Amino acid sequence: MNEKKELSPLARQLLGNSGAVKFFTQQEFDAALAIAKAEIMTVAIQTTKTALLIEREACADLVRDLAKDQAIGTAQVLESAAEAILNRIPSQRQ
């Protein structure tokens, strides 16, 4: 029962060096998976930072719009608040 069977031409093509199927060791797979996870996390973190910046800009615009309808002293306070909102994390405003 341990006799070797000849592979069909299709099986040779799929399993051969045609590049149709590439096999990985578990270690190679784990390394590639770790890289993919790191790349996904990097994109997720950057996307979150961008979303927070957009939200802060929208909040600052809202405060500035409110300042337009206020007396000069109150308007200045609201303008300062809008700047503080935008400058909360200065490195993200680049």
pLDDT at 25: 87
Phi-psi region of 4 (alpha: psi -120 to 50; beta: other; left: phi over 0): beta
SS3 13: helix
Is the separation of the CB atoms in 72 and 80 below 8 Å?
Answer: no
Model confidence at 32, in pLDDT bands (50, 70, 90)? very high
SS3 25: coil
Model confidence at 87, in pLDDT bands (50, 70, 90)? confident
Tokens 């045609």 -> residue: 18
Q: Is the pLDDT of residue 17 over 80?
A: no
Q: What is the largest CA-CA distance in the chain?
A: 96
